[in-house]
Amino acid sequence: MVMFNVTRKETAPIDGQKPGTSGLRKKVKVFTRPNYLHNFVQSTFNALSAEKVRGATLVVSGDGRYYSKDAIQIITKMAAANGVRRVWIGQNGLLSTPAVSAVIRERVGSDGSKATGAFILTASHNPGGPSEDFGIKYNMDNGGPAPEGITDKIYENTKTIKEYSIAEDLPDVDISAVGVTSFGGPEGQFDVEVFDSASDYVKLMKSIFDFELIRKLLSSPKFTFCYDALHGVAGAYAKRIFVEELGAQESSLLNCTPKEDFGGGHPDPNLTYAKELVARMGLSKSNTQDEPPEFGAAADGDADRNMILGKRFFVTPSDSVAIIAANAVESIPYFSAGLKGVARSMPTSAALDVVAKNLNLKFFEVPTGWKFFGNLMDAGLCSICGEESFGTGSDHIREKDGIWAVLAWLSILAHKNKENLDGGKLVTVEDIVRKHWATYGRHYYTRYDYENVDAGAAKELMANLVKMQSSLPEVNECRLNFACVYFKCKNLYITSAWKVLKLLNCIVKGIRSDVSKVVNADEFEYKDPVDGSISKHQGIRYLFEDGSRLVFRLSGTGSEGATIRLYIEQYEKDPSKIGRDSQEALAPLVEVALKLSKMEQFTGRSAPTVIT
Ligand code: G6P
Ligand code: ZN
């Protein structure tokens, strides 16, 4: 057995190591500065406390982005020096974020051991490569991200750190070959186990979904399918699950070879960045000649996010979680006994609220960040949850889960088409969504992102929005709009006295009638019902009389400058009005939001970087 020694190295605090919404994310050139990664890892070990680290079984893997392989070797050497008993590594250092969560919760090591936590090496949907992003986050023994109590401690430790421990003479481990290598250190044996990245996750999925039923759908010539991993780690699971287990054609996989730089792309599954899939699904201007597939989906770099598409049809993430919740009990065996409750993040549309109300389910609205769902799930209060930011998941693990969401949709489609595969008309994604809107009403929804704006300007814009919350009459003046009066006159078909009155009112007051009145405004604050902890300043809300909402937040996942997110939502119950184009339906509200926030004045931007 190869022996190693422990060295204590002197170091000094490095600024700016505060973990964001989901771990520490910085440019690779920052992470590779002397001691940068080392300081963060030692600060994490110190925050967990020596007793918890000694003898621990740690998972270390990620989405395979540039610098992961080096980082895995460094963390393994530091783990050995800090008395960790075992390090588990997915083959080639690959494990999706949901698979890490599954491994922590489900995997039993070759010696009967169970994992106590994980370092996940990912910057999620941010691009990768030598001049792009790297990231690291710690997950706890429940499989979920470290709570704020721990991440705050980590940050405090990074500000005072003086030394770290490392086994410099521990040889690099070969992470390409499955197997266990044992070493001997001052505190005894240390094992590194490299294991197949997909098996534990695949096993878990098979215990949740009816694979036989989905297989019938996917192998039917009537149903066409396309999955885009955007060269992220989802590719390592897609072939195993969709092709080998479920019988999809190999040609239905796009960009499913994981790459260190995601092929130079931006691995974020939305209409802007998943260009190839969007074109294949018939949703872009450069439509391909072929008939688009019936179903399309994409994942982000670490495979926790998902985008669901039908033929020439986009499903908003807010609708997606509501539809999964509404259909789960009848379509997914894991939920057949009923749902414990459902939850969404605050900026996510209220489509899920309506389902919860109708089905009489417990409902929770939490701040942005998956960790808030974890507490509810650990307490048995929530089965299904989702976020507008393309995250959907359930209490099978403690992370959102991109492939799970695809399997959930395939289950719903398979269930609804049980009788239709041999004859009869296929129930499509679009049919399911439209029927949902007809039953529950439609929440028109869009998000405007202003990426990489000046951090100072973004702060000022937010401060101004908070200040204006104390003078709602002034806010309501933003609805003054003479162009609107003109527009209304031009388009009005006078069919009732009521409409005439409304128009006159509009002309007299100069107030647009297509946007209702702001009746309330606040900053979202959350009291965790399980541990009583309070999270303040979780987004600025303007709430309108008709249930419409404007929400403003600063992103917590960027690595440079600031990203302002503007969320716009309007509820429509009238079945005759649920079929409009969402950008068109929301245009008046968008106009008010931009005026209210003085977006261009503060940021100098006349248009958002991304619209989803
Ligand atoms: C990560 C978290 C999500 C969260 C998202 C928000 O993906 O896992 O739970 O919704 O970040 O990102 P933002 O950039 O809006 O802070
Ligand atoms: Zn992600």
Q: Express each pLDDT in 535-558 by its tens digit.
A: 999 999 999 988 899 999 999 876
Q: Residues lining ligand 1, CB < 6 A?
A: 21-22, 124, 345, 368-370, 387, 389, 391, 555-557, 565
Q: How is residue 251 annotated by DSSP?
A: G
Choice between 30 and 506, residue whose per-residue pLDDT is larger: 30
Number of residues in the chain: 612
Q: Are residues 213 and 290 in the same domain?
A: yes
The CA distance from 340 to 376, in Å, is 10
pLDDT at 434: 97
Q: Which residues share a beta bridge with 192?
A: 87, 181
Q: How is residue 610 annotated by DSSP?
A: E
* Ligand 1 nearest atom to the CA of residue 557, by list position: 14
Distance 132 CA to ligand 2 centre (A): 16
Average pLDDT over residues 370-391: 95
The CA distance from 552 to 545, in Å, is 18
The CA distance from 294 to 427, in Å, is 10
* Whether the predicted pLDDT of 461 surpasses 90: yes
Q: Which of 304-313, 509-518, 524-533 has the lowest mean pLDDT?
A: 509-518
Q: Are residues 186 and 220 in the same domain?
A: no
Q: Which helix (H) or strand (E) holds 180?
A: strand 179-185
Q: Pick the last residue of a domain from 440, 457, 486.
A: 440
Q: Are 352 and 371 in contact (CB under 8 A)?
A: no
Nearest-CA residue for ligand 1 atom 15 is 555
Q: Are residues 360 and 461 in the same domain?
A: no
> For residue 516, what pLDDT band results from cuts at 50, 70 and 90?
confident
Distance 391 CA to ligand 1 centre (A): 8
Amino acid at 601: Q
DSSP 559-579: SSSEEEEEEEEEEE--GGGTT
> Measuring CA to CA, which residue among 299, 321, 294 is closest to residue 310?
294
Supply 313's token pair: 């049809």
DSSP 584-602: HHHHHHHHHHHHHHTHHHH
Q: Residue 30: how many CB atoms within 10 A of its CB?
A: 18
* Ligand 1 nearest atom to the CA of residue 371, by list position: 9
Q: Are 387 and 372 in contact (CB under 8 A)?
A: no
Q: Pick the last residue of a domain from 180, 197, 214.
A: 197
pLDDT at 501: 66
Task: Indicate which CATH number applies to the domain containing 64.
Answer: 3.40.120.10
Distance 605 CA to ligand 1 centre (A): 23
* Whether the predicted pLDDT of 163 surpasses 50: yes
Nearest-CA residue for ligand 1 atom 5 is 369
Distance 8 CA to ligand 1 centre (A): 36
Ligand 1 pocket test target in 63, 151, 370 with most atoms within 8 Å of CB:
370
Q: Where are the beta strands (DSSP E) in 381-433?
A: 384-387, 391-394
- How far lies 548's CA from each of 444, 556, 601, in Å? 9, 25, 24
SS3 of 1-49:
CEECCCEEEECCCCCCCCCECCEEEEEHHHHCCCCHHHHHHHHHHHHHC
> For residue 22, what pLDDT band results from cuts at 50, 70 and 90?
confident
Average pLDDT over residues 37-56: 95
Q: Are residues 209 and 275 in the same domain?
A: yes
Distance 389 CA to ligand 2 centre (A): 10
Q: Are residues 134 and 225 in the same domain?
A: no
Q: Are residues 511 and 531 in the same domain?
A: yes
pLDDT at 509: 55
The CA distance from 269 to 537, in Å, is 28
Supply 326's token pair: 């509404």
How much is the ipTM here? Answer: 0.96
* Ligand 1 nearest atom to the CA of residue 125, by list position: 7
Q: Are 284 and 312 in contact (CB under 8 A)?
A: no
* Whether the predicted pLDDT of 507 surpasses 70: no
Q: Are 326 and 436 in contact (CB under 8 A)?
A: yes
Q: Are 269 and 304 in contact (CB under 8 A)?
A: no
Q: Which of 106-120, 495-509, 586-600 has the lowest mean pLDDT?
A: 495-509
Q: Are residues 183 and 222 in the same domain?
A: no
Q: Are residues 43 and 90 in the same domain?
A: yes
Range of the domain at 24: 2-197
Nearest-CA residue for ligand 1 atom 2 is 369
Q: Are residues 275 and 411 in the same domain?
A: yes
Find the farthest-apart pair of alpha carbons in the chain and give their distance in angstroms, rounded: 91
- Please give the positions annotated as active site: 124
Distance 519 CA to ligand 1 centre (A): 28
> For residue 494, what pLDDT band results from cuts at 50, 70 and 90?
low
Q: Are residues 430 and 468 in the same domain?
A: no
Number of the ligand closest to the Cα of 262: 2
Supply 520's token pair: 């309330």
Q: Are residues 311 and 408 in the same domain?
A: yes
Count structural domains, the chain. Answer: 3
Q: Which residues share a beta bridge with 296?
A: 226, 309
Ligand 1 pocket test target in 101, 452, 557 with most atoms within 8 Å of CB:
557
> For residue 485, what pLDDT band results from cuts at 50, 70 and 90?
very low
pLDDT at 482: 46
> Measuring CA to CA, which residue among 444, 446, 445, 431 is closest to residue 578?
444
| Orientation angle between helical segments 429-440 and 402-416, nearest 10 degrees | 90
Q: Pick the last residue of a domain from 143, 172, 197.
A: 197
- How far lies 103's CA from each of 58, 94, 308, 389, 441, in Å? 11, 12, 26, 24, 39
pLDDT at 483: 46
* Ligand 1 nearest atom to the CA of residue 558, by list position: 14
Number of the ligand closest to the Cα of 388: 1
3-state secondary structure of 526: strand
Helices (H), 199-311: 199-208, 211-218, 235-238, 275-280
> For residue 420, what pLDDT band results from cuts at 50, 70 and 90?
confident
Q: What are phi and psi of 300, to 5 degrees?
A: -95, -175
pLDDT at 470: 86
* Whether the predicted pLDDT of 53 surpasses 90: yes
> For residue 594, what pLDDT band results from cuts at 50, 70 and 90?
very high
Distance 179 CA to ligand 2 centre (A): 28
Q: What are phi and psi of 527, to 5 degrees?
A: -105, 115
* Ligand 1 nearest atom to the CA of residue 553, by list position: 15
Task: Indicate which CATH number applies to the domain containing 511.
Answer: 3.30.310.50
Q: Are residues 265 and 310 in the same domain?
A: yes
What is the percentage of the chain residues whose pLDDT exceeds 90?
Answer: 81
> Measuring CA to CA, which residue among 341, 394, 347 is closest to residue 363?
341
